[in-house]
Amino acid sequence: MLGRVNHIAIAVPDLAAAAAIYRDTLGARVSQAQALPEHGVTVVFVELENTKVELLEPLGADSPIASFLAKNPSGGMHHICYEVEDILKARDQLRQDGARVLGDGQPKIGAHGKPVLFLHPKDFQGTLIELEQV
Amino acid sequence: MLGRVNHIAIAVPDLAAAAAIYRDTLGARVSQAQALPEHGVTVVFVELENTKVELLEPLGADSPIASFLAKNPSGGMHHICYEVEDILKARDQLRQDGARVLGDGQPKIGAHGKPVLFLHPKDFQGTLIELEQV
């Protein structure tokens, strides 16, 4: 079911500072910051050779990463996104195996304009998993 | 400086259960468990198309992931490993930029038989970073 690792997301309290660390200290290629108000985050992409890291800063009052940053004020690894071919088939199979899909189970359009779903971290060793249909 | 994402490491309390979830529920290819007593972990590799996930279970009394699991009993994302061409050059450059290298700063031979170093999570938005020379 799992294809490529699309990205690893890291929640950060200060996006400009984090982007500077990845660009200047770690010598990686980083994108301009993009505000995604419909997702409650501003994002910078760190482009690696085989995948990417997404640095996420909360945007607006109801950011989905606000509670994570309240618990982890310095930031931290937030989720892993895997690509799948058919997100509805993946969802149904996962549910059949007893895994919990977050929200109402209907794929939303994610930060890359593609359908995504999130899986409950308690069913996956404390790791929040995003599935993205590619 | 950063090359490929070599792996994303997830600490788990029960390696057999975690491997079964990745194999059976998520439909990924997983390796046999390998005990690495010199690293204080038993590891299962989840082979994705472009990188891998390493599931780590503590092994022995002084496991480097024991305290993480004490704080996160269900498990969780533990570190990201990036490949670098020259680990000593990377280390010296990072230190010059004010980043802290863990331990005595001498690369150790990591789980893949290659020199590795870890960087202080406080200098990288709460993310433990491993560098591996390839």
Expressed as residue numbers, the domain containing B61 is 5-133
**CB-based contact A34:A112 (threshold 8 Å):** no
**How much is the pLDDT for A1?**
93
The CATH number of the domain holding residue A101 is 3.10.180.10
Q: What does the pLDDT look like over A47-60, one tens digit per residue?
A: 999 999 999 999 99
Using the predicted structure, report yes or no on whether residue A11 has a pLDDT greater than 90.
yes
- Report the domain count for chain A: 1
How many angstroms away from the CA of B4 is the closest CA of chain A? 5
The ipTM assigned to this model is 0.96
Pairing relation of β-strands B29-30 and A34-36? unpaired
Interface of B with A (CB under 8 A): 1-5, 8, 10, 12-13, 18, 21, 24-28, 48-51, 53, 55, 72, 74-77, 80, 82, 93-94, 97-99, 121-127, 129
Convert the pLDDT of each residue in A70-83 to its tens digit.
Answer: 999 999 999 999 99
Q: Report whether A124 contacts A106 (CB < 8 A).
A: no
Structure letter (DSSP) for residue A121 = G
Q: What are phi and psi of B23, to 5 degrees?
A: -75, -50
Task: Output the average pLDDT for chain B.
Answer: 96
Tokens 């990205």 sit on residue? A7
Q: Is A132 a catalytic residue?
A: no
Annotated catalytic residue, options A54, A57, A130, A132: A130
Give the confidence band of B111 by pLDDT, cuts at 50, 70, 90: confident
Residue type, B37: P
User: How far is the C-alpha of A83 from the C-alpha of B50, rounded, in Å?
Assistant: 11
